[in-house]
Amino acid sequence: MSSKAQEVAIDRILVDRFRAGDSSAFDEMVHRYWDRIYAMVSQLLRNQQDAEEVTQDAFIRAHRGLTHFRGESSFSTWLYQIATNLARNRYWYWWRRKRDKSLSFDAPVSADCETTLAEVIPAEVITPEDATVTQEFVDRVASGMEMLSEKHREILILRNVQNLAYEEIAEILSISVGTVKSRIARARESLREKLGGETL
């Protein structure tokens, strides 16, 4: 059994336990997914306090809706959908009030991963010079990401930061796998254009 299949199986057991009245099962789900959901939301919103609030709201909504969860997708995909929708709503709330902040490309992707977003954007050629990314380049990439449409920025984060499979992204965003692949390609090309055609 693959690690993904094992994860799905454990989630199903936890969902069944929760539905049977075992409240500790949901605590286990929170423990399993809090860091992953927070990392994704944090990259989308770029604000620690709001990311914490959205992550908490996502679990509150999941708790309320779990009795109606039909299991058509995996629990993790369903949870990512809830968190992504809440983050989108919060982002547009920010946008209307001009509160959004720049994305730090030299900050760790998550608490348990030291890789930075600047390191996960694919490069055609990796040289020693590429390995030591200058602050100027990091700032340019962050500015480029800020200029991307919400859809393009969101899909790059799901794929390159969260390392989600095309199929998972398709379920989370309610689009086809083909659309996921083409949107990722367009997002990367758009980011290259924003950077003046520089190779990523």
pLDDT of residue 80: 92
Backbone phi, psi, residue 9, to 5°: -65, -45
pLDDT, tens digit, 9 for 90 and up, residues 140-197:
766 777 788 889 988 888 887 778 889 999 999 999 999 999 999 998 888 888 877 6
d(CA 83, CA 177): 20
- Among the listed residues 167, 159, 165, the one whose alpha carbon sits nearest the alpha carbon of residue 185: 159
Report the pLDDT averaged over residues 128-146: 62
Q: Quick check: pTM over 0.85?
A: no
- Among the listed residues 8, 18, 14, the one whose alpha carbon sits nearest the alpha carbon of residue 64: 18
d(CA 138, CA 144): 10
Mean pLDDT, the chain, integer: 79
Q: Answer whether 199's CB lies under 8 Å from 123's CB.
A: yes
Structure tokens that stand for 147 in this block: 């200029």
Structure tokens that stand for 112 in this block: 């348990």
Domains of the chain are 1-101 (1.10.1740.10), 102-200 (1.10.10.10)
**In the chain, what percentage of residues exceed pLDDT 90?**
38
pLDDT of residue 2: 81
Angle at 65 between CA 62 and CA 71, to 5 degrees: 90
- Among the listed residues 145, 185, 181, the one whose alpha carbon sits nearest the alpha carbon of residue 164: 181
| Cβ contacts of 187-194, under 8 Å, gap ≥ 24 | 187/148, 187/151, 187/152, 187/153, 187/155, 187/156, 188/121, 188/122, 188/156, 190/148, 190/149, 190/152, 191/121, 191/141, 191/144, 191/145, 191/148, 191/152, 191/156, 194/143, 194/144, 194/147, 194/148
pLDDT exceeds 80 at position 198: no
Residue 176, classed as helix, strand or coil, is coil
pLDDT of residue 148: 86
- pLDDT higher for 142 or 131? 142
Q: Answer whether 122's CB lies under 8 Å from 130's CB.
A: no
